[in-house]
Structure 1
Amino acid sequence: MPAYVIAHLQDAAPHPDIAEYIERISGTFEPYGGRFLVHATRHEVKEGSWPGGVVMIGFPGLAEARSWWDSPEYQEIAPLRSRHIDGDIIMIDGVPEGYDPTTTAASIRAAALAAE
C-alpha cells in the first residue's frame, strides 16, 4: 500500500542551508522508492487557512518512508531545513487499491445508530 510524507511548512527567508537541503533531498529518498508528488507548487485554500507551503513525497509503503526518515543520509541534511523552516510533517498510509469509501460510511452509520 502506498504511503506519503506530507509537510506543511511555513514560509521562510531564503537561506543557503535551505538551498542545499533542496539540492540534496531527492538523493536521500530515491533508494527507498520515494519521489516528490508535490513540491514548490502553489496551493489554493478552499476552507480555513493554510499559510506556507506543502510538500508531499510518495513511497511504496510506510516501511520505506520510515526507513528514509531514519536514514543517516536524511538525518544528516534534516537540520538544514529544520533550523530555518517551521512546520508540521506527517507520515500516512494511502488507501489500498480498490478502496471503497462506502464501507467506511457504513461503519460510521452503524456506530452512530449504536450510540443512539
Structure 2
Amino acid sequence: MPAYGFAHLHDRRPHPDIVEYLERIQDTLTPFHGRFRIHGGRTEVVEGSWTGNMVLIEFPDLATARAWYDSPAYEAIKRLRADHIDGDLVLVEGVGPDYDPAERARKLLADGGAGTAGTAS
C-alpha cells in the first residue's frame, strides 16, 4: 500500500540552504523509491482557508517512508530546510487501488457509527 510524506510549509525565509536542500533531496529519495507528486504548485482553495505550500512525496509503503525520513542521508540535509521554512510534516499510509469508501462506511456503521471516521482501520 503506498504511503506519503506530506508537508504543509509556510513562513518561508529565502536562504541559500534551501537551494542546497532542493539540489540534494532527490538523492535521499531515490534509494527509497520516493518521488514527488506535489511540490509547491499553484493551489486553488475551494473550501475553507489555506496558506502556504504543499509537498507530497510518494513511497511504496509506510515503513519505507519512515526509513527515508530516518536515513542518515536525509538527516544530513533536514536542517537546511527546517531552519528556514516552518511547517508540518506527516507520514501517512495511503489506500490501495481497490479502496471502496462505501465499504468503509459500512464498517463504521458496524463498529458503532461514524464517530471513528478519522481513525485508521
Q: In the alignment, what sits opposite 2:85?
A: 85
Matched, 1:6 2:34: no
1-structure distance, mates of 2:69, 2:75: 7
- Say whether the 8 Å CA contact 1:6–1:90 is kept in structure 2: yes
- Say whether the 8 Å CA contact 1:11–1:53 is kept in structure 2: no
Q: In the alignment, what sits opposite 2:98?
A: 98
Q: In the alignment, what sits opposite 2:117?
A: none
**Could you tell me which amino acid in structure 2 is paired with residue 41 of structure 1?**
G
The TM-score normalised by the length of structure 2 is: 0.88
Report the Cα offset of residue 109 of structure 1: 3.0
1-structure distance, mates of 2:45, 2:74: 30
Query: Over residues 47-73 of structure 1, what are the superposed CA-to-partner deviations in whole Å (9 max), with x where a residue is unaligned?
Result: 222111000000011111011000000
- Say whether the 8 Å CA contact 1:11–1:51 is kept in structure 2: no
1-structure distance, mates of 2:113, 2:80: 47
Q: In the alignment, what sits opposite 1:107?
A: 107
Query: Gaps (5+ residues) in structure 2?
Result: 115-121
Higher strand proportion:
2
Identity %: 53
CA RMSD of aligned residues (A): 1.4
Query: Gaps (5+ residues) in structure 1?
Result: none
Query: Over residues 8-39 of structure 1, what are the superposed CA-to-partner deviations in whole Å (9 max), with x where a residue is unaligned?
Result: 00041321011111111011011000000001
Which is further off, 28-37 or 6-15? Answer: 6-15
2-structure distance, mates of 1:51, 1:112: 33
Matched, 1:36 2:36: yes
Higher helix proportion:
1
2-structure distance, mates of 1:58, 1:47: 25
Q: In the alignment, what sits opposite 1:74?
A: 74
Ranges of 4+ aligned residues in structure 1 off by more than 3 Å = none
